[in-house]
């Protein structure tokens, strides 16, 4: 199966990520939280990607395929086929922000929206944790402070940010999806195919912009991409 990557300035930084970092985000895209392969993954069946299995730079040499896989999850299958590709990362980021009840200013740069999203996610997760869970989280990120307001600015610049986000997602993703299930089913409105006539317009009007199952991918993927961007920026600073 082909994975089409639409040039995306917000994902170009992936070419500077390590093999381990890309392998982690790839695993998230191709396998669910129980370790089972996602049936909707195109990357898992891509001949080029499969042919490099076991190669020490399988993921680094195929970063565009990995980025294309994320774009694929950002759109619905019918629209992807019509376009020939998925959605740009920024559109996926804004969609995830909306699902997590963050009112992002669309005029802000991608980096700033990600910053607000990460802080929003961490604050909400922290408020829902009891003392034991907070202690587990602090240990996971190897924090030397225990107050959120002290922790946040340090964590945003720390290599353990991705670890902390992954730790929280492992226990909260299902609840997040349940909370937003009704919104996900309704989708982005019923006028998505208004500019298209005939069966194509009818088909687009009848499908969700992003399905509930896709949010199992896009929510953690966007949060991890945001973490990776900060890690790469810190190494290049």
What are the tokens at 74? 């950002």
With cut-offs at 50, 70 and 90, classify the pLDDT of residue 153. confident
What are the tokens at 19? 């093999």
Q: What are the DSSP calls for 39-52, one per residue?
A: TT-SGGG-HHHHHT
Residue 31 φ/ψ, nearest 5 degrees = -135, 145
Q: Read off the DSSP letter of residue 6.
A: P
Rounded CA gap, 153 and 205, in Å? 43
Percent of the chain with pLDDT over 90: 44
Instruction: Give the CA-trace dihedral at 175, 178, 183, 186, to 10 degrees.
Output: 150
Q: Read off the DSSP letter of residue 5.
A: P
* Highest-pLDDT range among 8-12, 29-33, 40-44, 157-161: 8-12
Beta strands in the chain (DSSP E): none
pLDDT (average), residues 34-43 = 91
Return the pLDDT at 57.
97
Other Cβ atoms less than 10 A from the Cβ of 81: the count is 10
Residue 122 exposed, middle or buried by CB count within 10 Å (0-12, 13-18, 19+): buried
Query: Does the pLDDT of residue 96 top 60, yes or no?
Result: yes
Rounded CA gap, 49 and 45, in Å? 8
Strand partners for 31:
37
pLDDT digits (tens, 9 = 90+) for 46-82: 999 999 999 999 999 999 999 999 999 987 654 555 4
Listed range (1-5, 75-79, 88-92, 191-195) with the worst mean pLDDT: 191-195
Residue 79 exposed, middle or buried by CB count within 10 Å (0-12, 13-18, 19+): middle
Question: Cα 66 from chain centroid?
Answer: 12
pTM of full prediction above 0.75: yes
The b/e string for 125-136 (b: 16+ C-beta within 10 A; e otherwise) is beeeeeeebeee
Rounded CA gap, 189 and 204, in Å? 11
Query: Does the pLDDT of residue 108 top 50, yes or no?
Result: yes
Query: Does the pLDDT of residue 138 top 70, yes or no?
Result: yes
Residues in the chain: 237
Q: What are the DSSP calls for 93-105, one per residue?
A: HHHHHHHTT----
């Amino acid at each position: 199966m082909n994975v089409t990557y639409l040039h995306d300035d917000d994902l170009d930084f992936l070419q500077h990520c390590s093999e381990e970092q890309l392998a982690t985000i790839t695993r998230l895209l191709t396998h669910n939280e129980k370790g089972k392969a996602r049936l909707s993954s195109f990357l898992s069946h891509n001949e080029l990607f499969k042919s490099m299995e076991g190669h020490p730079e399988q993921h680094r040499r195929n970063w565009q395929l990995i980025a294309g896989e994320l774009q694929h999850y950002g759109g619905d299958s019918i629209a992807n086929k019509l376009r020939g590709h998925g959605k740009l990362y920024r559109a996926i980021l804004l969609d995830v922000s909306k699902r997590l009840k963050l009112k992002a200013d669309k005029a802000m740069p991608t980096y700033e929206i990600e910053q607000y999203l990460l802080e929003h996610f961490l604050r909400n997760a922290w408020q829902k944790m009891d003392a034991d869970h907070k202690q587990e989280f602090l240990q996971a990120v190897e924090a030397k402070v225990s107050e959120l307001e002290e922790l946040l600015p340090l964590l945003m610049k720390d290599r353990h940010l991705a670890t902390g986000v992954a730790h929280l997602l492992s226990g909260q993703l299902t609840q997040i999806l349940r909370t937003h299930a009704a919104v996900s089913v309704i989708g982005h409105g019923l006028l998505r195919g208004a500019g298209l006539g005939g069966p194509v317009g009818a088909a687009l009007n009848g499908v969700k912009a992003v399905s509930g199952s896709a949010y199992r991918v896009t929510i953690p993927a966007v949060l991890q991409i945001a973490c990776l961007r900060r890690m790469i920026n810190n190494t290049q600073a």
